[in-house]
Amino acid sequence: MSLIFPKNYDPKLDVRQTQEAIKYIRDTFQKEFGKEMNLERISAPLFVRKSSGLNDDLNGVERPVSFDVAGIPGETAEVVHSLAKWKRMALYEYGFQPGEGLYTNMNAIRRDETLDNLHSCYVDQWDWEKVITKEERTIDTLKATVRTIFKIIKHMQHEVWYKYPEAVKHLPKDITFITTQELVDRYPDKTPKERENLITKEHGCVFLMKIGDKLSNGEPHDGRAPDYDDWSLNGDILFWFEHLNCALEISSMGIRVDENSLHQQLEKAGCTEREKFPYHQMILNKELPYTIGGGIGQSRLCMLLLDRAHIGEVQASLWPDGMRKECKENNIILL
């Protein structure tokens, strides 16, 4: 575990004030987000059937928490990693039309996560998904959506500033767009994470596009499941975070696979057997709507806006005793 302790760190707010600020940010953001993006709030599952193929496979190596259900013999349930696939199915089941969408509170357990300043085994985010037309599956649609989300986050900075002026972090005025291939061309001798940090430090906020496919160096920038985002129409929103001297990912999002990109990406990933799952069959048969969607980290957003050095300051999770002790000695109070 690699921990970073900012020199002379001062969180400004005590624990109870922090709890109040967390509630304010979460309540205010989801209200503004739903209104600006034309999204309805719906309820979402904590777990899904393994046989449905609806769970998010992330990078393909993370183990989901699974269990049997006494009332459904022979079935295995999995705690969701995210709701990337489930949301698209929900839009179909509930009859959403182009221009309409949903958001939900997503809670997950990621048992294989490395615990540090930014990563927890508990994940809490706003998962969202919106129906678009076939013709809207473009870079322009993706960029316009990213700009809207950035505008909402900037608005939240001002909202938090009114209530907690001494604690708020001031964000850059604009967001810069760049592709993973452009980063390789620009920094050919750097690792993917080093490239992210260099470009985000330079611009303050970046949307890094086209994640998942192999680049000119023969390697993908990062792992991305082949059956939800279209690798040519996705990306991550990154903010420069001075406390930790690194890029802070706030959102992973993208236009979802269609019948063509799903088949191509499953072939590239060597997992065409997934095409037998009901969810994948519905995409291949053009039964599911075309969509755009993503997740926005709730604790990550609180961490960013309140300028906190450890995600455990804004969420209740499990941490090693040694980490708790060392954090407390450096004025980082974990909830």
Q: Which residues are catalytic?
A: 56, 110, 125, 236, 249, 252
CA-wise closest residue to 129 among 214, 12, 15, 256: 256
**Cβ neighbours around 184 below 10 Å, total:** 17
Q: Which two tokens stand for residue 123?
A: 């994940």
Q: Among 68, 79, 72, which Cα is nearest to 46's?
A: 79
Distances (CA, A) of 162 to 17, 26, 152, 168: 15, 16, 16, 9
The contacts found for 64-68 with CB under 8 angstroms, 24 or more apart, are 65/109, 65/111
Q: Exposed (0-12), middle (13-18) or buried (19+): which is 228, by Cβ within 10 Å? A: buried
Of the candidates 248, 258, 154, the residue with the CA atom closest to the CA atom of residue 201: 248
